[in-house]
Chains A and B, each alone.
Chain A
Amino acid sequence: MTRSEIIEALKQEFSHLPGTYIEKSVYEVFSCIAETLASGGRAEFRGFGAFGVKKRAPRVGRNPRTGKQVKVDAKMFPSFKCSRNLINRLNKW
């Protein structure tokens, strides 16, 4: 399922709402999550899962083509832990 398919499904369910409202809202949801994470926050959605930010340590890597060593800086990356609910449903527990 893609974002546009989600938007289509929501348009059918909320047929009384203007389509542009639905589109903008869905885009807003994901940019809101991204913004929160970018400012170091967390996002937690009951029944779905939780997003956080973790730090990757700096390391010495290697250019795979030349074999030269290169320093790779520390960087932040998003983490996601899916909810118990989702795991239970996926495994039909």
Chain B
Amino acid sequence: MKSSDKEIKTLTKAELAARLHDKYGSKRDLSKATSMRFIESLFQKMEKTLSSGEEVKISSFGSFIVRKKRARIGRNPKTGVEAKISERRVVTFRSSQALKNDLNGI
């Protein structure tokens, strides 16, 4: 599907919360604020786990892995000035085969 065919939509926490509320919350008389707190808490839990260096695995979606990057010499793309980039840890995402298949309509 060409993304230019329609506007590209961006999913946010607020939208996820609204979706949960419509689908499950309203039937159970839960407030919209509850759905929002739920979503915030879900992401906070994942952030906290990753910040401690532990990975987060979501089966049939993918895993978030903490990787260590070595220090290297980089370059400011605008000015061309070389700069030392310090050793750092970053979070990478390894998608599951199921998600890759979804994206390719398999």
Contact = CB atoms under 8 A, between A and B. Distances in A.
A61 interface: no
A34 B61 contact: yes
Given A21-B24, A37-B103, A89 B58 contact: no
Interface string A65-93: 00000000001111110100111011100
Given A13-B41, A18-B28, A39 B56 contact: no
What is the size category of the interface that chain A forms with chain B? 35 or more
Contacts, number: 151
Nearest to B27: A21
A9 B10 CA distance: 28
Given A42-B10, A45-B12, A28 B3 contact: no
B42 A26 contact: yes
A40 B2 CA distance: 8
Interface of B: 1-3, 8-13, 16, 19-20, 23-25, 28, 30, 34-35, 38-39, 41-47, 49-51, 53-59, 61-62, 64, 66, 88-93, 95, 99-100, 102-105
14 contacts: A1-B54, A10-B45, A14-B34, A14-B38, A26-B42, A33-B11, A34-B102, A38-B102, A40-B8, A45-B12, A75-B103, A77-B95, A78-B93, A90-B53
